[in-house]
Structure 1
Amino acid sequence: MILDKIDNYKLYVNLNQRIARAFTYILETDFSQLSLGKHLIEGEDIFVLLQEYDTKEIENCKLESHKKYIDIQFMISGDELMGITTLNNQETTEFNEDNDYYFYNSDYTIIRVNEGMFTIFFPDDIHMPCIKVENIEFVKKVVVKVKI
């Protein structure tokens, strides 16, 4: 798992060619001109989910992971908390293999993701996005899905 400011994106572009392409897209796209939902960058190999939502109470959020895709989550506006932990043989409580979602009940650590920051979640990184900081807040986020 990686948490950093978008200003430091160059530290991570050599991890993978598709990750580099994802950062190029994030930096060059005017998200105010893009409709919410799914947008293909390189077919199903790299695509974007543009989201707007109100953050939630922690009990309304789920720990999740993905096996087929790396998640790059960039906070366009607003702040949220995320729960994080590692896979370490955690028991899956629910899954949707077609949509690449696996859910868990586990202990986790909380991190804060502020506007202008991003996270990178690899398949062994369980994460719980969308948690309110202090009050429920409207956020805009782009999730870039990078096929492994």
Structure 2
Amino acid sequence: MIIDTLANAEKYIGVHPLFAQAFQYIKSTDLATIEVGKYEIADGLKAIVSDKPGMTAEESEAKFECHNNNIDIQVCIRGTEHIGWKTRNECKDQKGEYNPEKDVLFYNDKPTMQFTLNDNQFVVFFPEDVHAPMIGEGNIKKMVVKVRK
């Protein structure tokens, strides 16, 4: 997992071959005015923009998730978002089977830590990062860039 501000995004472009293009898309997009929806960026890159009310920790943890085939770059555009996290190798209580169509696997485990993102901060979740996002009060506008690993 990586947590930082968009101002420092260039430090991470060498982490994955598609990160340069992903962060260029984020930085060249007017995040304040982008509409809610799904955006195809390039082969192996897509963005999902949401703007909705935050959830309680319990609601988010009910969908404590990770992905096998994608890395998430989650950008907080507006609001205060709390996110629960735990490394996948410490999760013991798998919830159902992996869904390959949605690239998602859920766990009944609880996060071992929680952190906060504010405007123009991002987190990168790799397949080993189980996360419970969108915890907060009021609306949270965010962009999730899915990077095929």
The CA deviation at 1:48 is 0.3
Q: 1: CA distance between counterparts of 2:34 and 2:119?
A: 18
The corresponding residue for 2:110 is 107
- Partner amino acid, structure 2, of 1:28: S
TM-score scaled to structure 2, two decimals?
0.91
TM-score scaled to structure 1, two decimals?
0.91
Among the aligned pairs, what percent are the same residue?
34
Q: Check the 8 A contact 2:32/2:77 in 1, yes or no.
A: no
Deviates more, 1:45-54 or 1:23-32: 23-32
Report whether the alignment pairs 1:22 with 2:22. Answer: yes
Deviations 1:53-112 (Å, cap 9, x if unpaired)? 110111111210001100000011111100001011633203422111111121311111
Query: Where does the alignment leave 5 or more consecutive residues of structure 1 unmatched?
Result: none
Q: For this pair of structures, how many residues does the alignment match? A: 144
Query: Where does the alignment leave 5 or more consecutive residues of structure 2 unmatched?
Result: none
User: Would the alpha carbon gap of residues 123 and 48 (structure 1) be closer, same or farther in structure 2, given more than 3 Å must change?
Assistant: same
Report whether the alignment pairs 1:75 with 2:79. Answer: no
Q: What's the secondary structure of 2:109's corresponding residue?
A: coil
The corresponding residue for 1:57 is 56
Determine which of 133, 138, 147 is the counterpart of 1:129: 133
Deviates more, 1:30-39 or 1:6-15: 30-39
Q: What's the secondary structure of 1:98's corresponding residue?
A: coil
Q: What's the secondary structure of 1:59's corresponding residue?
A: helix
- Partner amino acid, structure 1, of 2:116: R
